[in-house]
């Protein structure tokens, strides 16, 4: 049994997991190397052995979490379906994804806004051009028929994403305003109801514009 190698990758993995959690919770500047080490059940020095510095550890985590977020969105947009089918599927899957990763959106929004420079290095990794091309194809094929101008596409996209992302990013605020949602189960129900609410709203609006 190759003990060293097993231990090696296993430890690195443990550190990475711990770092993801802590960074997601507290952000880059709020996170402490000590706390990451504690959660990983290892020593502070090992963090530097595997990831040299806090910044590099953070970047490794950030890239993976960024991909995680967009992989979900892109995989759905890619599929060959009508616009309505895509919306339904997106709301369903993305809201379930958000429920499983509740800290993710606010973390990404915060860190990107504080570090736009290195977020750009990621835009290649995430293959965003594909996303745009797909959207414009869909527009040419189908959305014109709804009376949606090309210039409204970005409004529409931001709106659709906001249906699932915003309540999750605003969870803290929402649970202060509506204390019933401090119970996570109740809030998850709320999010699931949102699938119907959002598609209902969008489709009702489109119906009125359909030529």
Partner DNA sequence: GTCTATAGAAGGATAGAC
Partner DNA sequence: GTCTATCCTTCTATAGAC
Binding-site ranges for DNA (CB under 7 A): 4, 7-8, 10-11, 31-34, 42-46, 48-49, 52-55
Long-range contacts of the stretch 99-102 (C-beta < 8 A, 24+):
99/188, 99/191, 99/192, 101/68, 101/69, 102/168, 102/171
Is the CB of 42 or the CB of 131 nearer to its own copies?
Answer: 131
Q: What are phi and psi of 129, to 5 degrees?
A: -60, -40
Burial class (CB in 10 A: 0-12, 13-18, 19+), 74: middle
Three-state SS at 127: coil
Where does this chain bind its own copies (CB under 8 A)? 25-30, 106, 108-110, 112-114, 116, 119-120, 122-123, 128, 131, 151-152, 154-155, 158-159, 162-163, 165-167, 169-178, 190, 193-194, 197-198, 200-202, 204-209
On whether the CB atoms of residues 70 and 126 are closer than 8 A, the answer is yes
The entry of DNA, its own copies, none that residue 143 binds, CB within 5 to 8 Å by partner kind: none
Tokens for 124, please give them.
Answer: 């290649």
The CB-of-123 to its own copies minimum distance in angstroms stands at 6
The CB-of-117 to DNA minimum distance in angstroms stands at 18
Sign of CA dihedral 175, 193, 23, 108: negative
Is the CB of 1 or the CB of 177 nearer to DNA?
Answer: 1
Is the CB of 59 or the CB of 68 nearer to DNA?
Answer: 59
Is the CB of 35 or the CB of 96 nearer to DNA?
Answer: 35
Distances (CA, A) of 60 to 12, 87, 97: 12, 32, 21
The CB-of-112 to its own copies minimum distance in angstroms stands at 4
Q: For residues 186, 31, 37 and 39, what is the CA-based torsion angle, rounded to 10 degrees?
A: -10
The entry of its own copies, DNA, none that residue 154 binds, CB within 5 to 8 Å by partner kind: its own copies
The entry of its own copies, DNA, none that residue 136 binds, CB within 5 to 8 Å by partner kind: none
The entry of DNA, its own copies, none that residue 109 binds, CB within 5 to 8 Å by partner kind: its own copies
Is the CB of 8 or the CB of 25 nearer to its own copies?
Answer: 25
């Amino acid at each position: 049994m190759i003990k060293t190698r097993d231990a090696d990758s296993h430890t690195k993995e443990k550190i990475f997991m711990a770092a993801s959690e802590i960074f997601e919770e507290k952000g880059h500047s709020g996170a402490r190397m000590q706390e990451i080490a504690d959660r990983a059940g290892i020593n502070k020095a090992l963090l530097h052995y595997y990831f040299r510095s806090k910044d590099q550890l953070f970047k490794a985590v950030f890239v993976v979490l960024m991909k995680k977020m967009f992989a979900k969105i892109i995989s759905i947009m890619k599929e060959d379906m009508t616009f309505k089918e895509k919306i339904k599927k997106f709301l369903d899957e993305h809201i379930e994804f958000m429920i499983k990763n509740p800290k993710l959106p606010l973390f990404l929004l915060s860190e990107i806004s504080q570090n736009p420079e290195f977020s750009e290095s990621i835009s290649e990794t995430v293959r965003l051009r594909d996303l745009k091309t797909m959207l414009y194809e869909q527009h040419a094929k189908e959305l014109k028929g709804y009376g949606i101008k090309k210039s409204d596409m970005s409004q529409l996209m931001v709106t659709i994403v906001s249906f699932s992302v915003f309540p999750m990013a605003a969870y803290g605020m929402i649970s202060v305003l509506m204390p019933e949602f401090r119970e996570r189960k109740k809030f998850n129900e709320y999010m699931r109801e949102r699938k119907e609410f959002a598609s209902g709203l969008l489709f009702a609006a489109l119906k009125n514009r359909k030529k």
